[in-house]
Amino acid sequence: MPKQKLVIIGAGMAAGRLLEHLFETAPDAFDVTLFNAEPRGTYNRIMLSPVLSGEKSYEEIVTHDDDWYTEHGVTCRFGERVVAIDREKKIVSGENGDVPYDRLVIATGSNPFIIPLPGHDLPGVLAYRDADDTDRMIEACKPGAKAVVIGGGLLGLEAAAGLRLRGMDVTVLHLMPTLMERQLDPSAGYLLEKELSGRGITIRTGANSKEIYGKDRVEGIRLDDGTDLPASLIVMAVGIRPNVAVAKNAGLDVGRGILVDARMQTSDPSIYSLGECVEFEGNCYGLVAPLYEQAKVCAAALAGSADQAFVHTETATKLKVTGVDLYSAGDFTDGDDRDEIVFRDPARRIYKRLVLKQNRLIGAVLYGETSDGAWFFDKIRKAEEILPEARATLIFGQSFAGGAPLDPMAAVAALPDEAEICGCNGVSKGQIIGAIDKNGLCDLDGVRACTKASSSCGTCTGLVESLLAFRLGDAFAAPAKKTVCGCTDLGHDDVRRLIVSQQLKSIPAVMQELGWKTSCGCAKCRPALNYYLIASWPNEYVDDGQSRFINERVHANIQKNGTYSVVPRAWGGMTTAAELRAVADVVDKFNIPAVKYTGGQRIDMLGVRKEDLPAVWADLNAAGMVSGHAYGKSLRTVKTCVGSDWCRFGTQDSTGLGIKLEKMMWGSWTPHKVKLAVSGCPRNCAEATCKDIGVVCVDSGYEIHFAGAAGMEVRGTDLLTKVTTEADALEMCAALLQLYREQGFYLERIYKWSARVGIEKIQAQIVDDAENRAALYARFLDSQRNAQTDPWAERASGQKDAHEFSELVLAE
Amino acid sequence: MPKQKLVIIGAGMAAGRLLEHLFETAPDAFDVTLFNAEPRGTYNRIMLSPVLSGEKSYEEIVTHDDDWYTEHGVTCRFGERVVAIDREKKIVSGENGDVPYDRLVIATGSNPFIIPLPGHDLPGVLAYRDADDTDRMIEACKPGAKAVVIGGGLLGLEAAAGLRLRGMDVTVLHLMPTLMERQLDPSAGYLLEKELSGRGITIRTGANSKEIYGKDRVEGIRLDDGTDLPASLIVMAVGIRPNVAVAKNAGLDVGRGILVDARMQTSDPSIYSLGECVEFEGNCYGLVAPLYEQAKVCAAALAGSADQAFVHTETATKLKVTGVDLYSAGDFTDGDDRDEIVFRDPARRIYKRLVLKQNRLIGAVLYGETSDGAWFFDKIRKAEEILPEARATLIFGQSFAGGAPLDPMAAVAALPDEAEICGCNGVSKGQIIGAIDKNGLCDLDGVRACTKASSSCGTCTGLVESLLAFRLGDAFAAPAKKTVCGCTDLGHDDVRRLIVSQQLKSIPAVMQELGWKTSCGCAKCRPALNYYLIASWPNEYVDDGQSRFINERVHANIQKNGTYSVVPRAWGGMTTAAELRAVADVVDKFNIPAVKYTGGQRIDMLGVRKEDLPAVWADLNAAGMVSGHAYGKSLRTVKTCVGSDWCRFGTQDSTGLGIKLEKMMWGSWTPHKVKLAVSGCPRNCAEATCKDIGVVCVDSGYEIHFAGAAGMEVRGTDLLTKVTTEADALEMCAALLQLYREQGFYLERIYKWSARVGIEKIQAQIVDDAENRAALYARFLDSQRNAQTDPWAERASGQKDAHEFSELVLAE
């Protein structure tokens, strides 16, 4: 039988492996011609990173050298592009001439995706894909020069690490909030970021590039928030796209990739395809494992065997940055039908998470300790049932499998006396046990007083309690502590304190460093952490919309039927004829079914369709109105009476003061909603004395009241103090709000905060201590610098969260 | 010297008296010609009433008969009208020929004023002015037939009394709220009305005639409120107008009357005038005393003496109705610069009031005991200073003058044992003293328990307390009682009870029957009484605007600068695009400077000029909006949350229930303002639990709360009860409101009423007693029948209180 003519387009890793299998199973079946656009044969593209970093040379990563091709009789047409495929005549046209085929394999791989930013074609802007790119990068490297890598995925980070190792000053720009979000969950992403930052790489997450600039070659990049980053090298590593051009031109069925069946056959039975250019059952592939699998199947198919079929399976990832232990596999997205096992050791920077579904492991993320990765991956691929008795110790991996579940008591019992329990204060187990015995201590407070253990950051509290229990037995009753939620053993006070003392500036950071028991928190802790981070780092922390409830996320109040209610701000309750007309016009234009005056002195449009929200806001904005935050844990309204402007009894300009307060305070996020009111006289028509903060004007000045309520509970305010000038009233109210912002627990109204902390303590900090009051006032004003952007305007212009408002349109 | 030719036009009482003086002082000076349109000479017009009543004959009241004229050589041209006066030629032209004069006296008197009602010229419609009118009335009298007298002044009431004595069924229609308001204050007017009513005369005050109907002669009269009164005789006695026709035609200076100087000379030195036809220093005269004075002055002037001058002085009035003792003199209007002494004896139907200014008596109204009238009148005319020592007993009159002030203790000491103290229960002084001694009683409650004295109507409470003090001396401490105000010793509870038990239906009735110490009450008691009367006689009592504060009177809230604030009703807080536009249009059209959303879920237009109010209301009415009563002691708002219509948490249709409550309750006057709210779930977004009445919807029904507050005080509501259906909730709330309306003291908010009465007692009456609840509900609905008229619409159409809104225009 004469040899069949086999043409292969592309000499990447998939093609290389295909040839190996083919020559192994059917060594004499084919006469092979191998086209490759790169002027070289197959090398281990995965190992380009060590080449870039200088840890390996190119030669070390070549898998098929010229000798190999010669030995196997492959006709190599390297450095020659394929121009066209004539499927009828079964001819492949290369730049240098035609080649007929009986069977054709397309393995064109993928192209790096280049973001069409202005300046993307300037010299010095590179993709990171092949050996040539690597060479160019190495060429461009100058120790101390600035490089920017766009893309915080696998490839981008490897590039960044490589450039850094070559002495460059590297910044990674990543659009998403955490690195490698496709392979890692936020906690692992956080650890990775921390690790890379520790290596001197600057990471900017949530960074949106706007333009690359430079005269003859790249000089830097500008972000959409105005940040300007000078750079002599910019690497784009934002993703790949299957290279389907030649297949598409030949009329093959193409989706995102070239469509293939389980035998890697395309829509033309004579043509096969494999590697990063294919699409199989909706999936495209970028990691090597499935590509090798495809090569095996394809080789069998070409050899005439029908008993092999490609099956889509989960893949595992490892980052090829020396010293970074990171492993992810399978599906680790959240979902109601899955549960998880999380283990964190903040001190050792370890994070492990297993995701289970119906008692079967479906995903794993490991950071810091990845030795069990393969063992877990095997269980994922096999969909092996995890038995209840194995579950408790599953996360400790293969070496612990079959062992007894950890008993915290046994664990502390097993600790040596010199083991450090409290890292902050350097207190050992022995010291704590000694103090318990010597002083007859029987509770946490006692241990804290005697040894200082657990008195600083508090993360060792659980350990100290275990020691107490271990030593005292039943005589120790662990206090029923109110924790933030089931995800942590810490209370709100500890969390607030630790966020500041440990400088934790993101939700994953908090969760990792404070040893959260879950990967991503829950509906209770996430909004709380988001608020605490905003309050602690007002001009740094970027609000996490996904940690907010729907109302705060879409800046409107969701109604029973899924529509929304929209309440514009009416400063101090005032409005105008023009505003009323604008509201009326909006109501008519968008067929809003109900309009209601609110008890908070505003107007509420009810029944607005979600997709209409941006347009409704745009119209309201045009009439000068902004969001009333009626949906927020934030400043709601400042109710006023008409005061000395109009009222016969008014002693001061209550409306004016109310407007000033509202203009000062709006946009501020707070532990819970905050309602204010200013009454012009003790008749108190604005009902100031049942508000969170209430000002009652009197002849001699302003009474500042606080801690009232009129919802589930009704509670008259307490008098904070009395001041004489309007300026003093503004400062006092702002200082009070700021103290509440800094001390209040999430979802704790001012009156509950006051009850917990004590009125006298609050007065001591605000009324008696002028310096502290001024500092609080200053902090409040500082925190407002970036808070007073109308969220409606941002969304009406499509700048922000466009996805929130378009989903219903897409569903149509 | 030849006699001068004196012509007198008119032979009324003034002319008769003039002739008497003239013939006395200058018997031969004049050749007198006396014209009279009536075919008779001078008679005592004042005594026509006894003629009408049949108590005197015409002959008995003639003052100058034919013999007298003959005797004094007067040429009588009776029954002949004067056609013209030729002042140049000094000739008076009568219907039967000319008469030359040297001096002319015009004494044409007055004409009755005929209201130009449709049908005023039908046969059977009479004025009441002269002997002919009297004859016609006597002719028309048929015992049992119906007569209507229009006008409740002096003449009208005399006519009514006369017709009644002749057996007719008489109704008096009077436009003003009390009879003879020009001569009597409301208390005396009330007693007069009661007396006349007792004689079988029907008095309708506040009655506005619309038309007289009948085919060939009068058959009846219709009022503008639709009342139809059949009558075969209608007497118009609504006032007189000076008869100036002949003088005006002659070119004399004429104002309301013929202008004269202090010597009764007109603008023509040859012509004099006197009587009801003249105007002197802006005054016209209708009572006989000044006319007689004028006659004396005029006679002297004609006789050539210049030493007499007419001086305007106060006059006194007596009603000539047998058995009615009534006397008024001088100026008894209220004023800041005057004070008053009032004595009332309800049982004897006595009312006396003296008005003083700068320690001088300037006015007196006496009813029931008028013997001191002349003595008081003398003091008024002499402007005699009332010394402090005389003041205390002044009101007891001449016989007491110089006596010691009354000592209530001495008075009760002087009473005989059998004197009745408590009329209700027939308890004598002896019985009370006996009970005190026998049972060792030491307080009012003891006496009430043992004897029943003072336990019913309570008006004898003061007397009983005096008896206790008399018997026990210092051992008796009179309780400090909270009275309505300084005008009475009664508390709110007594007043409310007595209004009902004594069927008191007007403010003067209350004041007289309950022995008010002032004539007309004060700013404290008048609004209270007005409310109690409205609440007690909902469909009978006519609201007294003058007993209301400015805001309730003009149905808008007065602002500091004298402008008003206007708040339309927004049912349950709901509005529409059309309403918003209407408000915006009004704001622009009337240049309203400020618009504010209110905490009560409405909109407030601030700074509306008073004169613009009716037009503003008309525009708001046209857009379907009515008064929000934001100014009233009445139902204010019903705040709602959006409830099950929109809210994810809403358990019931809170907005719907709120609207139903507001539609049921609006327009109702209450002791103090009433704020409602309906919350759709216990989250209580409508803040229902700090309202006067609050409904909190729960899954299983409706919690009815009440007695909350959020103004000067903050107070959470108490739970009244829980009901399961919306209908039950409506009934329960209405019954609660009605109980408060019936029991609350004026200006007592629901929470204060509840604290006074006790929650359990309120629950017993409303919750536990279904029959009573239903009755309260029915009474509330009944009271609303006439209450739900939009006060703005009434005023916008000019139907009501036009004077309130035109004053500023007039001032321009």
Average pLDDT over residues B127-151: 90
Residue B228 sits at the vertex; the CA angle it makes with B226 and B234, to the nearest 5 degrees, is 125
Question: Which of B559, B602, B690 is opposite residue A597, by nearest beta carbon?
Answer: B602
Listed residue (B711, B670, B716) closest to B696, CA to CA: B716
DSSP secondary structure string for all residues of A69-101: HHHTT-EEEET--EEEEETTTTEEEETTEEEE-
CA distance between the termini of chain A: 59
Q: How far is C-alpha B500 from the chain's CA centre?
A: 20
Residues in chain A within 8 Å Cβ distance of B558: 648
Both tokens of A523, joined, read 């509906």
Tell me if A648 and B683 make a contact (CB, 8 A cut-off). no
Residues in chain A within 8 Å Cβ distance of B646: 559-561, 565, 594, 606-607
Probe site for chain A from B591, B601, B698 (most A CB atoms < 10 A): B601
Cα of A249 to nearest chain B Cα, Å: 55
Lowest mean pLDDT among A678-682, B409-413, B561-565: B409-413
Query: How far is B466 from B481, CA to CA, in rounded Å?
Result: 15
Residues 364-383 on A with a CB inside 8 Å of B are none
Query: How far is A661 from A673, CA to CA, in rounded Å?
Result: 15
pLDDT attached to residue A812: 29
Pairing mode, strands B693-698 and B674-679: parallel
Cα of B796 to nearest chain A Cα, Å: 22
Cα of B604 to nearest chain A Cα, Å: 9
Residues in chain A within 8 Å Cβ distance of B575: 595-597, 603
Q: Which residues of A671-688 are buried (b: 16+ CB within 10 A; e: fewer)?
A: bbbbbbbbbbbbebbbbb
Query: How far is A501 from A459, CA to CA, in rounded Å?
Result: 12
pLDDT attached to residue A810: 33
Tell me if A565 and B642 make a contact (CB, 8 A cut-off). yes
pLDDT attached to residue B404: 61
Listed residue (B84, B36, B17, B12) closest to B302, CA to CA: B17
Q: How far is CA A520 from CA A381, A495, A552, B336, in A?
A: 24, 16, 19, 78
Q: How far is CA A529 from CA A14, A349, B104, in A?
A: 46, 20, 108
Question: Which of B560, B584, B682 is opposite residue A580, by nearest beta carbon?
Answer: B584
Q: Provide the ipTM.
A: 0.78
Question: Which of B595, B599, B604 is opposite residue A687, by nearest beta carbon?
Answer: B599
Instruction: Return the H-helix or E-strand segment holding B703.
Output: strand B701-706
Count of C-beta atoms within a 10 Å radius of residue A3: 12
Probe site for chain A from B619, B703, B714 (most A CB atoms < 10 A): B714
Question: Counting one residue from A and one from B, how many pairs have CB atoms under 8 Å apart?
Answer: 181
Tell me if A714 and B713 make a contact (CB, 8 A cut-off). no
Cα of B641 to nearest chain A Cα, Å: 8
Tell me if B646 and A717 make a contact (CB, 8 A cut-off). no
Q: Which domains are present in chain B?
A: 4-110+242-302 (3.50.50.60), 114-238 (3.50.50.60), 325-406 (3.30.390.30), 410-546 (1.10.10.1100), 550-622 (3.90.480.10), 635-784 (3.30.413.10)
Residues in chain A within 8 Å Cβ distance of B683: 711-712
Listed residue (A697, A693, A708, A703) closest to A739, CA to CA: A693
- Band the pLDDT of B812: cuts 50, 70, 90: very low
| Number of alpha carbons in the 13 Å side-chain half-sphere of residue B669 | 27
Question: Which of A575, A587, A716 is opposite residue B595, by nearest beta carbon?
Answer: A575
User: B513-532, pLDDT tens digit by residue?
Assistant: 998 989 889 999 999 999 99
Residues 563-592 on B with a CB inside 8 Å of A are 565, 570, 573-578, 580-581, 583-585, 587-588
Query: How far is A291 from A45, CA to CA, in rounded Å?
Result: 13
Both tokens of A410, joined, read 């046994």
Probe site for chain B from A585, A597, A655 (most B CB atoms < 10 A): A597
Listed residue (B638, B613, B627, B632) closest to B568, CA to CA: B627
pLDDT attached to residue B1: 64
pLDDT attached to residue B287: 82
Listed residue (B471, B472, B473, B493) closest to B482, CA to CA: B493
With a CB cutoff of 8 Å and minimum separation 6, the contacts of A740 are A670, A671, A674, A750, A753
Nearest CA in chain B to A710: B687
Tell me if A584 and B585 make a contact (CB, 8 A cut-off). no
Tell me if A684 and B644 make a contact (CB, 8 A cut-off). no
Cα of A491 to nearest chain B Cα, Å: 26
Query: How far is B664 from B783, CA to CA, in rounded Å?
Result: 11
Cα of B549 to nearest chain A Cα, Å: 14
Query: How far is A373 from B539, CA to CA, in rounded Å?
Result: 89
Average pLDDT over residues B106-125: 93
With a CB cutoff of 8 Å and minimum separation 6, the contacts of A16 are A41, A42, A63, A64
User: B593-625, pLDDT tens digit by residue?
Assistant: 999 999 999 999 999 999 999 999 999 999 999
Query: How far is B558 from A224, CA to CA, in rounded Å?
Result: 55
**What is the average pLDDT value for chain B, to the nearest integer?**
90
Cα of A690 to nearest chain B Cα, Å: 7
Residues 523-552 on B with a CB inside 8 Å of A are none
pLDDT attached to residue B808: 38
User: A490-502, pLDDT tens digit by residue?
Assistant: 899 999 999 999 9
Tell me if chain A has a CB within 8 Å of the CB of B561: yes
Residues in chain B within 8 Å Cβ distance of A570: 597
Tell me if B584 and A577 make a contact (CB, 8 A cut-off). yes
Evaluate whether B140 touches B235 at the Cβ level (below 8 Å): no
Average pLDDT over residues B402-414: 68
User: B642-661, pLDDT tens digit by residue?
Assistant: 989 889 888 999 999 999 99
Residues in chain A within 8 Å Cβ distance of B589: none
Question: Which of A561, A596, A690 is opposite residue B575, by nearest beta carbon?
Answer: A596
Residues in chain A within 8 Å Cβ distance of B594: 574, 642, 645-646
Cα of B734 to nearest chain A Cα, Å: 23
Tell me if A578 and B565 make a contact (CB, 8 A cut-off). no
User: B279-306, pLDDT tens digit by residue?
Assistant: 999 999 888 888 999 999 999 999 888 7
User: A764-799, pLDDT tens digit by residue?
Assistant: 999 999 999 999 999 999 999 989 989 999 888 877
Query: How far is A247 from A46, CA to CA, in rounded Å?
Result: 25
Q: How far is C-alpha A664 from the chain's CA centre?
A: 31
Tell me if A596 and B585 make a contact (CB, 8 A cut-off). no
With a CB cutoff of 8 Å and minimum separation 6, the contacts of A431 are A451, A453
Higher per-residue confidence, A589 vs B460: A589
With a CB cutoff of 8 Å and minimum separation 6, the contacts of B769 are none
Question: Which of B599, B642, B650 is opposite residue A596, by nearest beta carbon?
Answer: B642
Probe site for chain B from A561, A714, A718 (most B CB atoms < 10 A): A714
User: Cα-Cα-Cα-Cα dihedral of B535, B540, B541, B543, to 10°?
Assistant: 90
Residues in chain B within 8 Å Cβ distance of A639: 599
- Band the pLDDT of B22: cuts 50, 70, 90: very high
Q: How far is CA B433 from CA A809, B423, B467, B475, B477, in A?
A: 93, 16, 7, 15, 17
Query: How far is B481 from B465, CA to CA, in rounded Å?
Result: 12
- Band the pLDDT of B807: cuts 50, 70, 90: very low
Probe site for chain A from B646, B654, B747 (most A CB atoms < 10 A): B646
> Is pLDDT above 60 for B810?
no
Tell me if chain B has a CB within 8 Å of the CB of A167: no
Evaluate whether B630 touches B552 at the Cβ level (below 8 Å): no
Within chain A, which residues score under 70 in pLDDT? Answer: 1, 401-408, 456-459, 478-480, 806-812
Burial of B224 (0-12, 13-18, 19+ CB in 10 A): exposed
Tell me if chain A has a CB within 8 Å of the CB of B689: yes
Question: Which of B560, B599, B715 is opposite residue A599, by nearest beta carbon?
Answer: B599
Residues in chain B within 8 Å Cβ distance of A587: 576-577, 580
Probe site for chain B from A561, A642, A685, A718 (most B CB atoms < 10 A): A642
Evaluate whether A70 touches A45 at the Cβ level (below 8 Å): no
User: B185-239, pLDDT tens digit by residue?
Assistant: 888 999 999 999 999 999 999 899 999 999 999 999 999 888 999 999 999 998 8
Average pLDDT over residues B363-368: 90
Burial of B512 (0-12, 13-18, 19+ CB in 10 A): buried
Both tokens of A585, joined, read 């016009």
